[in-house]
Amino acid sequence: MANEYAYIKKQDKKVFEAITGEEKREAEGLELIPSENYVSRAVREANGSIFTNKYSEGYPGKRYYGGQKYTDVIENIAIERACKLFGAKFANVQPHSGAPANIAVYFALLQPGDTVLGMDLSHGGHLTHGHPVTYMAKIFRFVRYKMKNPETGEIDYKALRETAIKEKPKIILAGFSAYSRELDYKKFVDIARELGAISMMDAAHIAGLIAGKAVKNPLDYGFDIMTTTTHKTLRGPRGGMILVRESEEIAKAIDKSIFPGFQGGPHMHILAAKAVCFGEAMKPAFKKYAKQILKNAKAMEEVFRKHKIRMLGGGTSNHLILADVYGSLGVSGREAERALDEIGLTLNMNAIADDPRKPMDPSGIRFGTPAITTRGFKEKECREVAEIMIEALKNKDNSKKKKELHARVRKLSKKFPIPDKFV
Ligand code: DSN
């Protein structure tokens, strides 16, 4: 470790130990949570920069505090790069994360009681798409669509259209956090246009794949709005962003909704890190990275198929796999998460479509390749990781076997250290 934490070390031993403990955990294990990644040193430097000191409510050229010479530079760079990367006319780069980005869109465009049509959480949607436990569900009315067939992952577009005709949503929302196939964007946009609804894509999981042109760009298919986080496949700092394809009216409503409607001052150090991350994502190396994420996920899929483990959607077309480990191996999602954690593989338990088990101990595990691809893993290493996972699950009570597998994980981690730079 460099002298990176010299001041914390002297000043606050407990925090220092937690930071260095996490550093070791990340270095020695392998990160398979599909919504996590390793950022570059440049992103971390910007994230830890002096801009954390500054208040800058408002937008470039229209702030409520003085001293904005450099904040405006940062925010303008971030906006310009975001628009270019995703082919959008407008970008708001201030959302603190993905949930606030989605919420700000709802408040920008809806009145209390208005309806949103989104993907069911248990079929891959996200909490902020109106799950009953969220505050948004108390304010707006959320109705749902599902997959037609969890074995293929195809969305039931016919039912989606019928529900839309019946429920008259103001927003038709595509996007997911546990879905492994590509959506038919044209169908969403056609239905929204037919019914005069706004089309919104939550691309949090796949923004990096879109930026790297490894998957289709929903904005090319006419989506009005695209929200995302910046810390998943996009490999940037923890944060969010809202892109508007072309409507100035929508963009203005969203800007007002973020500030002053919902958030206070933007986190300018994070905006600086977003600008750096977007700069990285514009480089040719990022395209290679995004494509490798998909190849690596496919390599893991092959191994899971070979071992006859059921995958929701029948496999993957993106960066993640949702495997029914309870149905296939009799190991619950929670047991699987724990067993794999013990050998240095981090992933998360996840409900599967129409899960017979409870959310806190579901049937599935969700894992993906964005982070290990950042470490330089190719198909060969990903196949090995998949084999290790399955062997560990089959031997979850065999401590000798698990020790052996842990050593293999350590060896791989050592061979592929977390890189400092990508461009
Ligand atoms: N927590 C994120 C994920 O893991 O998908 C989404 O909010």
Nearest CA to ligand 1 atom 6: 177
Does the active-site annotation cover 316?
Answer: no
**CA angle 292-348-101, nearest 5°?**
75
Going by C-alpha positions, the residue among 336, 330, 339 that lies closest to residue 350 is: 336
| 35 CA → ligand 1 middle, Å | 6
Q: In this predicted structure, what is the pLDDT of residue 122?
A: 86
Six token digits for residue 366: 């969700």
% of the chain surpassing 70 pLDDT: 100
Q: How many CA atoms lie within 13 A of 47 on its CB side?
A: 15
What pLDDT band is residue 3 in, cutting at 50, 70 and 90? Answer: confident
Going by C-alpha positions, the residue among 317, 302, 318, 307 that lies closest to residue 383 is: 302
Does the active-site annotation cover 57?
Answer: yes
Q: In this predicted structure, what is the pLDDT of residue 5?
A: 95
Q: In this predicted structure, what is the pLDDT of residue 128?
A: 93
- Asked whether residue 2 carries a pLDDT value surpassing 70, the answer given is no
Q: Beta 154-155 vs 62-63: how paired, if at all?
A: unpaired
Q: How many CA atoms lie within 13 A of 143 on its CB side?
A: 18
Span 359-378, mean pLDDT? Answer: 97
Has 173 been labeled as part of a binding site?
Answer: no
User: DSSP states of 166-220 as a string?
Assistant: HH--SEEEEE-SS--S---HHHHHHHHHHHTPEEEEE-TTTHHHHHTTSS--GGG
| 232 CA → ligand 1 middle, Å | 9
- The pTM score is 0.97
Span 86-99, mean pLDDT? Answer: 98
% of the chain surpassing 90 pLDDT: 98
Q: In this predicted structure, what is the pLDDT of residue 4?
A: 86
Which segments within 4-71 are labelled E, that is strand?
Answer: 30-31, 58-59, 62-63
Give the C-alpha separation, 299 to 86, whole Å.
28
Does the active-site annotation cover 202?
Answer: yes
Q: In this predicted structure, what is the pLDDT of residue 183?
A: 97
Cβ(35) to ligand 1 under 6 A? yes
Domains of the chain: 30-36+284-415 (3.90.1150.10), 46-281 (3.40.640.10)
Q: Among 55, 167, 182, 378, which one carries the catalytic annotation?
A: 55
pLDDT for 205-258, tens place per residue? Answer: 999 999 999 999 999 999 999 999 999 999 999 999 999 999 999 999 999 999
- Asked whether residue 75 carries a pLDDT value surpassing 80, the answer given is yes
Q: In this predicted structure, what is the pLDDT of residue 303?
A: 98
Six token digits for residue 240: 């969010």
| 239 CA → ligand 1 middle, Å | 12
Cβ(128) to ligand 1 under 6 A? no
Six token digits for residue 395: 């031997």
Q: In this predicted structure, what is the pLDDT of residue 419?
A: 97
25-47 in b/e form (b: 16+ CB < 10 A) is ebeebbbbbbbbbbbbebbbebb
Scanning the structure block, which residue is given the tokens 């409520």?
64
Q: Among 31, 36, 75, 202, which one carries the catalytic annotation?
A: 202
DSSP 119: E
Does the active-site annotation cover 14?
Answer: no
- Asked whether residue 18 carries a pLDDT value surpassing 60, the answer given is yes
Q: In this predicted structure, what is the pLDDT of residue 289?
A: 98
Q: Among 229, 230, 316, 374, which one carries the catalytic annotation?
A: 229
Going by C-alpha positions, the residue among 304, 310, 276 that lies closest to residue 369 is: 304
Nearest CA to ligand 1 atom 3: 35
Which of 37, 126, 349 best tests ligand 1's pocket when mutated (most atoms within 8 Å of CB)? 126
Q: 244 by DSSP, 3-state: which?
A: strand
- Asked whether residue 103 carries a pLDDT value surpassing 60, the answer given is yes
Q: In this predicted structure, what is the pLDDT of residue 214?
A: 98
